[in-house]
Amino acid sequence: MKVALIQMNSGSDKAVNLASARALIEQAVKEEKPDWICLPEVYDFMGGSMKDKQAAAEKLPDGPAWTMMHELSKKHGVFIHGGSILEKLDGEERLGNTTVVFNREGSEVARYRKIHMFDIVTPDGQEYRESKAYKPGDTVATYDCEGITIGCSICYDLRFPEIFQALVARGAEVIALPSAFTLQTGKDHWEVLIRARAIETETYMCAAGQTGTHTQGNEVRATYGHSLVADPWGHVVAKASDGVGYIAARIDPARVKKVRSMIPVAQHKVKLT
């Protein structure tokens, strides 16, 4: 299976973001002919006020981002793992930070809402309180991609190994990680954590990131980029630099099976008390 990871610099103009996503998907399809494409976290809208976010959010299954992914997956006969978009939730002012996945026929086959909220203060004093804007999900999600089981995660989930173990327990051989990692945390933690999750789970990790800057209130914030694919041995087999674009790599299910036969960690687990 050939995969393509889209790296974007989304901002607070939804129409511009969707046009950029469409152009990058079209470019990747033309140049790489992938089977599966992953977009980054909140590729449809980053920054702005809470009111701006609410106005940009979509009631699924509907809205311009959902419709674009539905149309492009069907048009090109490709799976689209829709990074994440802002979702309107019934009876809730907060939004869902939500992955939607489409198969080659344009049918929605999976939906996942980010579980772990990024509520931290960075070393330079910038405060991130995702839980003010987003309601956390409570359910892990996997789906079948023509015989390969793919697990869903988003950004800050990366720091919680238990969600990745839960995905493996459901049969995941590939785990998608659309992200908008901060520059400060990303430069020290991004690659090492992705490689660690790949080694622990003996899966391919496919991490599509946001890059560059965006404005949040009165602050200019920077994301790390460096989208990458790590194999089940923890090797980085494809990696983006700075800037908007995409990377491509091949996923080999036989590689997963070989690594799991060499070091059968799933058979060695013990229940701790």
Please tell me the predicted confidence (pLDDT) of residue 87. 98
Please tell me the predicted confidence (pLDDT) of residue 27. 98
- Taking 70 as the pLDDT cut, the residues of the chain under it are none
Residue 195 to residue 256: CA distance in whole angstroms: 14
- 269 catalytic residue (yes or no): no
Please tell me the predicted confidence (pLDDT) of residue 20. 98
Give pLDDT tens digits for 78-132. Answer: 999 999 999 999 999 999 999 999 999 999 999 999 999 999 988 778 889 999 9
- Torsions phi, psi of 221, nearest 5? -115, 150
Please tell me the predicted confidence (pLDDT) of residue 82. 98
**Single-letter residue type at 202:** E
Q: Which candidate in 14, 53, 88, 114 is catalytic? A: 114
Please tell me the predicted confidence (pLDDT) of residue 127. 87
- Say which DSSP state 40 is in: P
- 31 catalytic residue (yes or no): no
3-class secondary structure, 34: coil
Model pTM above 0.75: yes
The full set of domains in the chain, from first to last, is: 2-263 (3.60.110.10)
Please tell me the predicted confidence (pLDDT) of residue 271. 87
Q: What is the CA radius of gyration of the chain?
A: 17
Please tell me the predicted confidence (pLDDT) of residue 216. 85
Please tell me the predicted confidence (pLDDT) of residue 62. 93
| Nearest C-alpha neighbor of 172 from the set 138, 136, 197 | 197
Q: Are 84 and 97 in contact (CB under 8 A)?
A: yes
Q: Which candidate in 14, 38, 41, 206 is catalytic? A: 41
Please tell me the predicted confidence (pLDDT) of residue 78. 98
Q: Which candidate in 14, 155, 173, 206 is catalytic? A: 155
- 114 catalytic residue (yes or no): yes
Please tell me the predicted confidence (pLDDT) of residue 126. 81
- Say which DSSP state 39 is in: P
| β partners of residue 2 | 250
